[in-house]
Structure 1
Amino acid sequence: MEGYVYGSVARGDVNEKSDVDIIVFNPNQIVLDTLNVNHKYLIQATPNSVPKAYLSLDEEETIVISFPLGRLRRNEIEFYSFGGLVDLKGLSKNERVPGVNKKLMLIIPTENGHMEIPLEGNEDYASKLLKISLETIMERKRLLARRMERGHTGVFLRYDLGGNESIYDAFNKMYKSNKFFKRMVDV
Structure 2
Amino acid sequence: MSKQVYISADYAEYDGDRDVVEELNKWGSDNLHKVDFIDMSKVASGSVSKDTDCRICDLKQEFNRQINASSAVIFVVGDKTALRTAGSACNRSGNDQSSCNCTPYKQNTNGTKPCKVFFTSTPGENDDVGCINSYSYLKHEFKQAEKKNKAIIVVYNSLRKESGWLPSYMKNYEDCARPFWTTNYRGDKVGDYSYIKEVLGF
- TM (normalized to structure 1)? 0.30
Larger RCO (alpha carbons 8 Å, 6+ apart) = 1
Q: Decide which structure has the larger Cα Rg and report it.
A: 2
**More strand as a share of residues:** 1
- TM (normalized to structure 2)? 0.29
